């Protein structure tokens, strides 16, 4: 019987994740560079009706990633209209679902609701999952699909030769979806997992059980559908771009770089489970031995997947923490297993200290947000959000003072940081360039039939394209390849309207254009200076002098 303190409802944890991460995720408080590839392509799909071919903002073809992520962005646009919210909503939901699947994974393996609940709390507070859920890029979708496949593996680990067919369906359909999201990394982890089940020395599973042709066939169809379609439409040349991204452009051959990336990946893997991993330190050797003896097969599986992702990370030319996400939920279950069997909940002092640290950080961040918003003024929504954040903070404070539900208090205190952070960044980042340009277009009644050329940071152009929607046709003249100013001027001659970054504006003659300011934002390099002068009566003018400006140029 699980004590009331550890009766953790996964739906509540999923809801907490969605609510506390949502405000930061569903506006462009931060815009990750790779998001432009997926939002630009999805807008192009709405414009040309071709839902298979992916384009860059400058109109060039891009085949570096499979179609899965593009379709998720497109689904958001179809369901809610084209906006920052709709570009990310399904990625936030994917993050919450990953939390729920982690609970289910642990419950299947151990039939222990306490252990399953701790697994959900650990992965919900994992910063890699949190950040991935705030970006419209493949990583959180891959993490969700691989966690789903891990449930299939868990069924095989638990039931062996008597595995119910539903687990094989879950396994192969999930791997098919994972391949359609990210490609070769999904195939590698799936292949390693299947080989492990077939050859591990403790509980081998026959190929007769592993190879379930109906689910395997449909999984292969799902995984390869887009690749076959691209072969039919564009021929084999598209594979050059795909393999360059998947292998050629990412796999390192220099030993020193491999060692550096491997050490970095290992350090980050440890860091993303802080402070939970520190709570396992007392009697760690004994706890590991105990869990190993309890279920060698799962322990070996989790360890192998962890080593595999570290190996893949080491082989990349540049390692990013998000590469760890596909195995993060499995490792969260492993860590929860070690913690629960080691009686971590009896070490209340460590749980309380950890929670106090994050509540303290939230308090500091909250005071900063109050100071910032009171000086600059803000919307009713932001003030209501700050009030709600205070209510949650007080609730977690009381739980910690009373030594009640400490694992939940710790997990939620980490999530609360991101909730409060969005009340501060709202004044620094928002309204961002896309929203401002959209308002400019409405106020000036710009004709959507007139094409727009963009010269400037292409990540900004992506945000503007999202807010303008499919009615406006905007082309990135800057592109990803370096061009001279003269080349940009020549290419811009065919466009009646231009959006131009301030550093290029001196190249355009005001006798040829009507020039107006379309957006003004804080320059990230000048944030410390602007914060120091926030009470200056001429603050708006200071922002304009020290900010990043985009101009609207209409050809005369």
DSSP secondary structure, 119-132, as one string: HHHHHHT-HHHHHH
* Residue 369 tokens, joined: 């947000």
**H or E segment at 20?**
helix 10-25
> Cis link prior to 338 (omega < 30° from 0)?
no
Lowest mean pLDDT among 80-84, 215-219, 342-346, 549-553: 342-346
Distance CA 50, CA 52 (A): 6
Distance CA 20, CA 130 (A): 10
Mean pLDDT within 388-392: 97
Per residue in 52-94, pLDDT (tens digit) is 989 988 888 888 889 999 999 999 999 999 999 999 999 999 9
Could you tell me which residue, 467 or 256, shows the higher pLDDT? 467
Angstrom CA distances, 369 to 194, 378, 397, stand at 50, 11, 19
Q: Name the DSSP class of 316.
A: B
Q: What is residue 244's predicted lDDT score, i.e. its pLDDT? A: 63
- Selection from 162, 268, 246, 180 nearest residue 219 by Cα: 180
Could you tell me which residue, 528 or 248, shows the higher pLDDT? 528
Percent of the chain at pLDDT > 90 equals: 76
Q: How confident is the model at residue 5 (pLDDT cuts 50, 70, 90)?
A: low
Q: What is residue 241's predicted lDDT score, i.e. its pLDDT? A: 65
The DSSP annotation for 368-384 comes to HHHHHHHHH---HHHHH
Per residue in 509-524, pLDDT (tens digit) is 888 899 999 999 999 8
pTM for this predicted structure = 0.94
Where helices occur in 377-517 by DSSP H, the ranges are 380-401, 406-429, 433-443, 458-468, 485-492
Number of residues assigned to the chain = 556
The DSSP annotation for 201-244 comes to SSS---HHHH--HHHHHHHHHHHHHHHHHHHHHH-TTHHHHHHI
Q: What is residue 172's predicted lDDT score, i.e. its pLDDT? A: 97
Number of H helices, E strands in the chain: 24, 5
Distance CA 272, CA 177 (A): 26
Per residue in 336-383, pLDDT (tens digit) is 999 999 888 777 899 999 999 999 999 999 999 999 999 998 889 999
Percent of the chain at pLDDT > 70 equals: 96
Distance CA 495, CA 488 (A): 12
Angstrom CA distances, 424 to 35, 165, 365, 415, 526, stand at 23, 50, 8, 15, 16
Place of tokens 């602007």: 530
166, 148 in Cβ contact below 8 A?
A: no
Per residue in 426-436, pLDDT (tens digit) is 989 888 899 99
323, 265 in Cβ contact below 8 A?
A: yes
119, 340 in Cβ contact below 8 A?
A: no
304, 195 in Cβ contact below 8 A?
A: no
Q: Sign of the C-alpha dihedral, residues 50, 55, 60, 62?
A: negative
Angstrom CA distances, 449 to 445, 503, 515, stand at 12, 28, 20
Q: What is residue 284's predicted lDDT score, i.e. its pLDDT? A: 85
What residue spans define the domains of the chain? 8-255, 356-429, 433-555
Q: What is residue 240's predicted lDDT score, i.e. its pLDDT? A: 64
Q: What is residue 176's predicted lDDT score, i.e. its pLDDT? A: 97
503, 80 in Cβ contact below 8 A?
A: no
- Selection from 365, 531, 359 nearest residue 24 by Cα: 365
Distance CA 427, CA 286 (A): 50
Q: Is the pLDDT of residue 190 over 90?
A: yes
Q: Is the pLDDT of residue 481 over 90?
A: no
- Selection from 286, 292, 282 nearest residue 351 by Cα: 282
Q: How confident is the model at residue 250 (pLDDT cuts 50, 70, 90)?
A: low
Mean pLDDT within 223-233: 88
Q: How confident is the model at residue 209 (pLDDT cuts 50, 70, 90)?
A: very high
Q: What is residue 282's predicted lDDT score, i.e. its pLDDT? A: 74
- Selection from 301, 507, 336, 487 nearest residue 411 by Cα: 336
Q: Is the pLDDT of residue 461 over 90?
A: yes
Mean pLDDT within 266-295: 90
Lowest mean pLDDT among 237-241, 265-269, 306-310: 237-241
338, 288 in Cβ contact below 8 A?
A: yes
> In 10 A of CB 59, how many CB atoms?
12
Angstrom CA distances, 338 to 136, 211, 302, stand at 33, 32, 12
Distance CA 491, CA 310 (A): 45
Q: Is the pLDDT of residue 242 over 80?
A: no
* Residue 378 tokens, joined: 């803000």
């Amino acid at each position: 019987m699980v004590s009331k303190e550890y009766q953790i409802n996964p739906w509540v944890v999923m809801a907490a994740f969605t609510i506390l991460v949502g405000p930061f995720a569903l506006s462009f408080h931060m815009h990750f560079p790779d998001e432009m590839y997926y939002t630009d392509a999805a807008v192009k799909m709405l414009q040309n009706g071709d839902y298979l071919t992916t384009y860059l903002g400058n109109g060039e073809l891009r085949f570096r990633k499979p179609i899965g992520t593009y379709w998720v962005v497109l689904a958001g646009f179809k369901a809610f209209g084209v906006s920052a919210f709709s570009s990310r909503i399904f990625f936030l939901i994917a993050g919450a679902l990953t939390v729920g699947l982690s609970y289910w994974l642990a419950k299947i393996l151990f039939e222990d609701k306490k252990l399953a609940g701790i697994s959900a709390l650990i992965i919900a507070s994992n910063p890699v999952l949190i950040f991935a859920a705030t970006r419209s890029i493949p990583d959180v979708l891959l993490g969700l699909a691989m966690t789903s496949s891990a449930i299939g593996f868990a069924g095989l680990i638990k039931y062996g030769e008597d595995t119910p067919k539903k687990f094989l369906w879950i396994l192969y359909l999930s791997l098919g979806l994972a391949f359609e999201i990210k490609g070769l990394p999904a195939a590698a982890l799936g292949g390693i997992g299947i080989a492990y089940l077939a050859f591990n020395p403790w509980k081998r599973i026959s190929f007769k059980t592993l190879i379930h042709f109906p689910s395997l066939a449909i999984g292969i169809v799902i995984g390869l559908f887009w690749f076959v379609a691209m072969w039919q439409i564009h021929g084999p040349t598209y594979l050059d771009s795909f393999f360059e991204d998947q292998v050629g452009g990412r796999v390192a051959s220099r030993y020193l770089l491999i060692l550096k990336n491997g050490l970095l990946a290992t350090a980050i893997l440890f860091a993303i489970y802080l402070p939970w991993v520190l709570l396992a330190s007392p009697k760690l050797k004994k706890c590991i031995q105990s869990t190993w003896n309890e279920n060698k097969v799962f322990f070996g599986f989790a360890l192998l997947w962890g080593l595999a992702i570290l190996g893949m990370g080491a082989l990349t030319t540049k390692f990013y923490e998000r590469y760890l996400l596909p195995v993060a939920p499995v490792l969260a279950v492993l860590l929860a297993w070690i913690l629960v069997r080691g009686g971590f909940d009896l070490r209340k002092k460590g749980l309380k200290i950890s929670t106090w640290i994050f509540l303290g950080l939230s308090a500091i961040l909250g005071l900063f947000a109050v100071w910032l918003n009171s000086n600059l003024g803000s919307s009713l929504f932001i003030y209501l959000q700050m009030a709600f954040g205070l209510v949650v903070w007080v609730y977690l404070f009381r739980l910690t003072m009373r030594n009640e539900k400490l694992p939940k208090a710790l997990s939620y205190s980490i999530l609360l940081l991101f909730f409060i952070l969005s009340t501060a960044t709202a004044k620094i980042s928002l309204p961002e360039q896309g929203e401002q340009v959209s308002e400019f277009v409405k106020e000036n009644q710009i004709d959507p039939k007139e094409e727009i050329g963009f010269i400037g940071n292409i990540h900004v152009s992506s945000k503007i394209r999202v807010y303008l929607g499919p009615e406006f046709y905007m082309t990135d003249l800057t592109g990803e390849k370096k061009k001279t100013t003269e080349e940009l001027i020549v290419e811009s001659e065919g466009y009646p309207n231009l959006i131009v970054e301030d550093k290029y504006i001196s190249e355009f003659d005001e006798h040829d254009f009507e020039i107006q300011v379309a957006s003004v934002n804080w320059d990230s390099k000048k944030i410390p200076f602007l914060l120091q002068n926030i009470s200056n009566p001429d603050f708006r003018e200071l922002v304009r002098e020290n900010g990043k400006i985009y101009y609207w140029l209409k050809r005369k």
